[in-house]
Amino acid sequence: MSNTEHYTRIVKTTAQSLGFGYCGIAKAEQLDEDARRLEAWLNQNRNGTMQYMENHFDLRIDPRKLVPGAKSVITVLQNYYPEQRQSVDAPKISKYAYGNDYHEVIRTKLKEFLLQLNQQIGSIQGRGFVDSAPVLERAWAVKSGGGWIGKNGNLINKQHGSFYFIATLVVDLELQYDDPFAKDYCGSCHKCVDVCPTNAILENKVVDGSKCISYFTIELKDQLIPDSMKGKFDNWMFGCDSCQDVCPWNRFSQQHQEPGLSPIPEVLNLSAAQWEDLSEDAFKTIFKDSPIKRSKWSGIMRNLQFIKD
């Protein structure tokens, strides 16, 4: 067995031991086709007020500019599908936000991943990224065989569906590369497009971020939600899972086993009235480790009022 094969086996075995549901590897190189798609998306103002999407374009399309000497991009998937559900009268929260902030949970695991690789292989330079740096995670997931991009813009894994976080580890180690996922298994299915409350899902796997409920309830800071969206939120207060909930591939979703993503009791149990009565101090205490804090108490109160009116 060559060193490359041996190291690759170590990478995948270590990822599995850390609880990642999938691990694939692609060659670190510039993403020319994805660069063109991203540029077109930005030029059409699909990012709304998310100005950060326009920053560091050159870094987004080439991981070698993030990690000098990078040779491989390791992609891992972390399942977040919960067994529990919110009470029926609660304003709806996206499933990814049921537990602690996934950035912290997965970042800790990526650091341990790199540490273990250094212990087993030798000195490796690398950086882990989880939805907080200029990395095109979905593109790397496809290039490393993790699945295909659905009509709703989500990565879909044939065995497990789409309720996964995507994280990448860029390293200066040459490894065996997986074949890209070449087939699209969405076929003629149109369920995610039809169910989208705000018609944010367009043709050719394009999602207009400036129309997405997740954008309005999370990313739109210190501004009122446009009146044109009144009555269209389907009771979503933080994020939106409508397109994933109807996806036939998510019938294969299984409960995650990551303790850090276990639901915060209040997320499951607070009624609409209790949310409305929640003080800012209580909000900060209860959700100090939750991604819900991204919207801040003022944003949550705005969202609640909007879906109530």
User: Under DSSP, is residue 72 helix (H, G, I), strand (E, B) or coil?
Assistant: strand
Q: Determine which one of 34, 131, 234, 289 is catalytic.
A: 131
Helices (H), the chain: 3-17, 32-43, 57-60, 102-121, 137-143, 191-195, 213-214, 242-245, 265-269, 272-276, 280-286, 296-308
Helices 102-121 and 3-17 cross at an angle (nearest 10°) of 140
Q: Cα 191 to chain center, whole Å?
A: 20
| Token pair 């497990």: residue | 160
Annotated catalytic, 208?
no
The string of DSSP letters for 192-255 reads HHHH-TT--B-STT-B-GGG-HHIIIII--SSPPPGGGTT-STTEEE---HHHHT-GGGGG---
The residues with which 167 forms a beta bridge, in sequence order, are 76
Q: What totals of helices (H) and strands (E) does the chain contain, helices first?
A: 12, 8
Q: List active site positions.
A: 131
